[in-house]
Every structure is written in C-alpha cells, then in structure tokens.
C-alpha cells in the first residue's frame, strides 16, 4: 500500500461529472496536480450505505475544501454512468473517477479482494496529495463503525497542512 512520503502513481481514468448520466470525460492526475492539494477518496461501491455515508460526509464539508483550493475525487470500480446516477441521486458536488479495470486500486494497494465474497473492489481509503504528487496523508478504514464526519475533518486538516 502506498504510504506517506511516496510519490502517487499517475493515472488517467474516466471522470463522472454528475450533470447527466453520460457526463463523462478523461481525467489525468498529472493535470490536477499543481493546482492545490488533491484528495483521492477510494470507496468500494456506489449505492451502498457505507459509501453513501462517506461521500455525503464529504459533500456536506466541501466548502471547507474549496477554501483551501483542494480538489476532491471519489474513486471506485463502478462504471461512470452508474457513478453519474449516484452523484445526481445523492446531490454530490464533486466528481467520481471510474477505475473500472482495477489498475489504480492495484497501483495504490487498496484492493478489497472479496467484496461480498464475489468480486474485487476498492478498499475504503483516502490519500491527500500535495502539488508535487507526494502522499502527504493516508487513511485506511479499520474494523468496526467509522465516523465519516470525523474522518473528513481529519482529512481537511491534512489538506490545510499542504495547502
């Protein structure tokens, strides 16, 4: 798993913008770096209760990231049209990246190999990257219930340190 101080692997993925079901365009991490901190929030699957709670916690705190010129992206193995429908349904105000071929979750070492005993998905984890693409902060979900509002607050503090 990628650790603090390491360079984040670059990638290009489809980005679901959320305006309509087919709001899809390429996203290149290298293009996003340099504009301010980047938050990559990996989650297992759209439309699930835990993932909805996590992404809604970010949604409810986005104004605090905007003040730091930080960009937040959710990443899952869901296809972009499904991500767009989920963004619209939950009124999420940040884009989702589709790692549909599972390359990025392998590159970042955040694989949940047996989601429901059936398929590989992203392990719930968050990386804060500085403008150079270095991991400044990493969080990986542990056992038990997660207080997503507290996690988002901690991530926001990590972003403030590199902003």
Catalytic residue among 29, 51, 70, 87: 51
- Tell me the chain's radius of gyration from C-alpha atoms: 14
Please tell me the distance from the alpha carbon of residue 46 to that of residue 84, in angstroms, as a whole number.
Answer: 10
For 106, phi then psi, to 5°, come to -75, -45
**Angle of CA points 125, 24, 89, to nearest 5°:** 65
Task: Assess whether 51 carries a catalytic annotation.
Answer: yes
Residue linked to tokens 């542990």: 142
Contact predicate 155/137, CB 8 Å? yes
Please tell me the distance from the alpha carbon of residue 38 to that of residue 50, in angstroms, as a whole number.
Answer: 22
Active-site residue list? 51
């Amino acid at each position: 798993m990628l650790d603090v101080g390491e360079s984040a692997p670059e990638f290009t993925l489809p980005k679901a913008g959320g305006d309509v079901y087919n709001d899809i365009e390429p996203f290149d991490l290298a293009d996003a770096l340099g504009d301010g901190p980047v938050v990559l929030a990996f989650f297992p699957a759209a439309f699930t209760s835990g993932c909805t709670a996590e992404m809604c916690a970010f949604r409810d705190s986005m104004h605090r990231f905007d003040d730091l010129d930080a960009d937040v992206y959710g990443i899952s193995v869901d296809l972009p049209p499904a991500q767009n429908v989920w963004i619209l349904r939950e009124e999420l105000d940040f884009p989702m990246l589709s790692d549909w071929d599972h390359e990025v979750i392998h590159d970042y070492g955040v694989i949940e190999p047996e989601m429901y005993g059936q398929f590989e998905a992203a392990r719930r984890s968050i990386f804060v990257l500085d403008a150079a693409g270095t991991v400044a902060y990493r969080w990986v979900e542990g056992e038990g219930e997660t207080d997503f509002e507290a996690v988002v607050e901690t991530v926001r503090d990590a972003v403030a340190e590199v902003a």
